[in-house]
Amino acid sequence: MPPTTSSRDQKHRPNRAKKGSIEALQIDEQNHSSAAHLPEHVAAPIRSDQAAEALKNGPIGALVIASIAVGILFIGWLAFYFLLFMPRGPIG
């Protein structure tokens, strides 16, 4: 007996169209919704000078966290080098 699909399954499943070897999705506009579907979920547009001002200082917090992580890795490398490799002496 062939598998059956309900009309509900057909309604919520996107149509697939073959395009060469890549499969492209065709979205049914009536059933499609996204986070930006309603105007209150979309940020207000800003001018380019306002965007430049907002990005002027950059991601300081991310740079601090990355610097701390690199510092910890470097200290660990120094500990391995001086506490593990140097006491064993030269190779050969």
Over residues 10-63, the pLDDT tens digits come to: 555 555 555 555 565 665 656 667 777 777 777 788 899 988 888 888 888 999
Is the CB of residue 68 less than 8 Å from the CB of residue 75?
Answer: no
The pLDDT of residue 79 is 96
| The pLDDT of residue 65 is above 70 | yes
Give the H/E segment covering residue 7. Answer: helix 7-12
pTM over 0.85: no
Measured CA to CA, the distance from residue 51 to residue 86 in angstroms comes to: 52
CB atoms closer than 10 angstroms to residue 88:
7
